[in-house]
Structure 1
Amino acid sequence: MARIFAPLPCLSEHLSRSEISKIKDKHPIDTVSIGETLHGDSVIDVKLCRTSKGRHVIVKAGTTSRHEANFMSILKHAGLTFTPDVYGYYRVIVYNVLVMEYIPGMDLTERVWKIWSKAKRQKFKLQLADALIQLRKVSSKQIETPYGIPLWNFYGSANEHTPSFGPYKTEEEYNTAKLDILSMSEEPESRIIGEQLLAAHYENKSKFSSETTADEDTTFVPRETTFVATHTDLFEHNIRVDWKGNLKGIIDFGKSGFYPDWAEYAFSQGMGFDDWWKDALNDVMRIVCPQYTRDDPIIKFEGVLLAITDPFSAYWKKKNLGTVNHGKCNTM
């Protein structure tokens, strides 16, 4: 792959911040690889490059982590065909660099969605649902990323001291950790709402022992379970398609991990997606996990948490925090 990387030195990771800053000034991130820039900013650079043998590959430099390479390798080993193959993970200058398969096609956009006929949209949704069902067949015995690495923390903006997230042995531990994050927020009612939504969730699953109020202790019943591979970041630009309405692949597994079976649905409705895409994903997730709906308490719980911590999900704050009436939350 001689043509991928610029002829720059590989430097030690044991450098001070000032030394790293000077090196980055001298060798900006966009000098790491040679190719067509697909996405670039101060922390990440994604290019379409050609190897010395003429193969097109994607080179992702910057904030990419070994976790992303590990996760995609696990999925490929499990036989999934819609994820990119991993060709290598390197350290170039002071940047992490992931080299992976290029998936032909185009990113899904609202423009493409509007051009597609209803039949093409339906075909695509069925294909995406099937891909996510296949993804969920890969599982772990705890909530984690591969090899016990902490999860991506979507909620760090609630408090600058929010610790690493996970791993967790049970769903109850995971949800309790998220309640603790709500306690650190500047929205005093959010913890109460979170407790009420979780109470309704566990009651629905016959795992919650008693009704919960703000003054009562919550008792969770541990249970044996497995946790499924979850992308967590199904923004439309992470979906590769063609003009015929076919799913070509799913990319960007940098925030993926093993989560409870409802998590993909919750993230798809709680993130700051545009309405057209959120509605499409709702149709997809109703196929993938028909035991849930977007109005389920656990889906709303994730929405409340993201509304507090993610400015792109502010619509959830209005929708869910607005259900409070004299200290009670409408969870149904």
Structure 2
Amino acid sequence: MLFPWFKKFWKKINYLRNKLPNVILFYGNYGIGKVNFVQYFAKSLLCENFFSKKKICNKKEFCISCFWFNKNIHPDYFSILPEVINKNEKSIYLNKLLLNKLNINQIKLLIKFTYFTNSLCNLKVILLSDIESLNIFSANSLLKILEEPPKKVIFLLIANNLKKILPTILSRCYKIILRKPSYEESLFWLKKKSLKNIEELFFNSGGFPILALKYFYKNYYFFLKKFFSFLFYPKNVDINNLSKYLLKIDIKSLLLILQLWLYDLFFLKTTNNIYYFFHFKKKLLFLVQKTTILKINFLLKKINNEILLYSEFLSSYLFIESLLIEYQLIFFNF
């Protein structure tokens, strides 16, 4: 399935087929469906009928390559993907915790695969997501194979933030940005699914449709409602009880929401613009008067560092508690 907001990018990437780069890096915001788009492109590269029909095989009539791809057993395709949530026979591709580093063994398997003899197609396709989470050893191993990629092997890389990727890896990539869909387009698409509370979850996601689906399938609605109530009114909150309650939400989601919320406060303070939480404009306008740009910037930098440094081995409760206290402190005179 190709999400509707990616159709224009699909036309753009099809121009590359006649002279396909060995390494293509797709990048863009969290929660917009990048993995889905790139996997769809990978499938089209391996489809036996694509060049004649100009489209991927459908569910009723498909080539052997598409059949194997759909079963996730294609011999000429290798992928390291984020977690997948299956619900009502639909697969929603979501981001892993940024904080789980891709390890060296995964990259070694990837490199080994590139030298296998092709089994079905004239092309091998490798999809590697979240490449900003490569540790230094994994990144250097990947760099070696990207410097001199084997013939007829295409690397499709996915990232959320180019600044976290080694410059030497970036220099070897043909880069394609996948942009966030408009607020109206995302909301229209989600409403057609008729999922309970999906509109409010979309507002809570900061305008990212795939994140909204993640929150729905993980039953985050009531937990996020409580968290946003705290963001709106941080004064006189029992941090201890709230921290325990929010343990039901993965740390990545809390960090991401708080990061985007602080960005909106920062931009509202400096440029009078909001980029993520349009629906909560009145709340943001009220809060921004109760703090300073220095306090917002200080906490924002700290949150950005926490995203990189947080480890699952730390106490999640203490970690959440410290985040909530830090947020309270920027409104000390609230």
The normalised TM-score by structure 1 is: 0.28
- Flag the structure with higher helix content: 2
